[in-house]
Amino acid sequence: MKSAILTDLTKCIGCEACALACKEINELPVSAPMNMLSAYTWSAVEHRNGVNIRRQCMHCEEPACVSACPVAALEKTKEGAVIYDAGKCMGCRYCMVACPFGVPKYEWDKSIPTIQKCILCHEKALSQGKEPACTSACPTGATIFGERAALLREAQKRIDENPGSYVPHIYGMREAGGTSVFYLSAVPFADLGFPGNLKEDPYPKLTWKVLSKIPNIVSTGGVLLLGIWWIINRRIKLQDENPPSV
């Protein structure tokens, strides 16, 4: 199944239990601030305009970071997580540039740094059939784990049943081609620092449109250049052999 997370911002009390649980399971330093994502905080709770906003990797259906990585260190798993292999990474940071949500972070203070981001507890929970640490810790059910399609239905149901309580938008359903982390909110997402106007087409498509032309460019270009060289040289050769008679 494809797993996902639904975070209902109207139900979040800002206790940061999710952020703490994340730090515990991933052995991240608790001293790093928990109100913004960093190499040492993969799950954060930001307090903005009176709203508590849980931040984490969106685990896109077709992630820009995965397509950007030159060594395939990032991977989208069957279970839905976008995971990272530090052993492959060469540290080019193109994933950070490419991610439309600005999620991957870097260990700038280390001499041998790696990319750091939420991996949906892939190894420690998801692959063992358990739910991620963050959702299991949430005391209000503001952030819940489940099957992607079921969570989308649940989100739509909440909007339909309480139209006054939510802006009619499931953030993450269409953004960047669809993600695995959805948000519901009473306040427009643009006011909460969520990137607005994101493309609804997956981002990797943009570069693939160009890259997929390479075989054509190589074959056409190669033939063209060889042809030009052959024609020009043959003409010069013929001219040299049979100088135009006077």
Partner 1 sequence: MKLSLPKPTFWTMVLAFIWILGIYSAFTRFYYGLGTATNLSDQFPWGIWIGFDILVGVGLAAGGFVVAATVYIFNLKSYKPIARSTILTAFLGYLLVIGALLFDLGKPYNVWHPLVMWNPHSVMFEVGWCVMLYTTVLFLEFLPVLFERFRLERPLRIIRSITVPLVIVGVLLSTLHQSSLGTLYVIVPDKLHPLWYSGILPLFFFISAVAGGLAMVIFESYLSARAFGKELEFKLLSQLSRIIVVVLSLYLLLRLQDMGSQGALKYIFDFSTESIYFLIEVGLGVVLPILLFLTPRIRNNTAGLFLGAVFVLTGFVMNRLNVAITGMTASAGVEYIPSWMEVAVTASIVAAGIVIFRYAAKYLPIFSDEEPMGVHQPPLVAAGKSGKVAMGILGVILLAMVIGLGIGLTKDKLPDPGMRIEAAVVQPAGSLKLPDPIVYEMGESSPGAVTFSHENHVDPSAPQCKTCHSGLFKMRPEKAGALGSIQMDLLYEKKQCGVCHDGEQAFNVEDNCEVCHVAAE
Q: Which is nearer to partner 1, 188 or 234 (CB)?
A: 234
| Of 54, 55, 59, 105, the one binding partner 1 by CB under 8 A | 105
Candidates 46-54, 145-153, 165-173; binding stretch for partner 1 (CB under 8 A): 145-153
Q: How many residues bind partner 1 (CB under 8 A)?
A: 99
Q: Any contact of residue 1 with partner 1 (CB under 8 A)?
A: yes
Ramachandran category for residue 134: left, alpha or beta (phi over 0 → left; psi -120 to 50 → alpha): alpha
Strand partners, 85: none
Any residues with CB less than 8 A from the CB of 200 and at least 6 apart, and which? 174, 175, 176, 177
Burial 66-86 (b: 16+ CB within 10 A, else e): bbbbeeebbbbbebbbbbbee
* Distances, alpha carbon 88 to alpha carbons 69, 79, 91, 127, in Å: 10, 21, 9, 21
Among 32, 146, 156, 173, binds partner 1 (CB under 8 A): 146
Q: By C-beta, is 73 or 181 nearer to partner 1?
A: 73
Binding of residue 219 to partner 1 (CB under 8 A): yes
Stretch that binds partner 1, among 46-54, 165-173, 221-229 (CB under 8 A): 221-229
CB of 168 to partner 1, least distance (A): 18
Question: Is there binding between residue 30 and partner 1 (CB under 8 A)?
Answer: yes
Q: Which stretch binds partner 1 (CB under 8 A): 35-43, 52-60, 163-171?
A: 35-43
Contact string 154-183 vs partner 1 (x = CB under 8 A)? x-----------------------------
Indicate whether 186 belongs to the interface with partner 1 (CB under 8 A).
no
Candidate list 50, 168, 197, 246; residue touching partner 1; CB under 8 A: 197
CA 169/CA 162 separation, integer angstroms: 13
121-140 binders of partner 1 (CB under 8 A): 126, 129-131, 133, 135-140
Please give the structure tokens belonging to residue 222. Answer: 């190669």
13 belongs to the binding site for partner 1 (CB under 8 A): yes
Write b or e for each residue in 11-47: b if 16 or more Cβ atoms lie within 10 A of its Cβ, otherwise e: ebebebbbbbbbbebbebeeeeebbebbbbbbbbbbe
Contact pattern from residue 38 through residue 77 relative to partner 1, giving x for each residue in contact according to CB under 8 A and a dash for the rest: xx------------------------x-xxxxxxxx----
Nearer to partner 1, 72 or 186 (CB): 72
Residues in the chain: 246
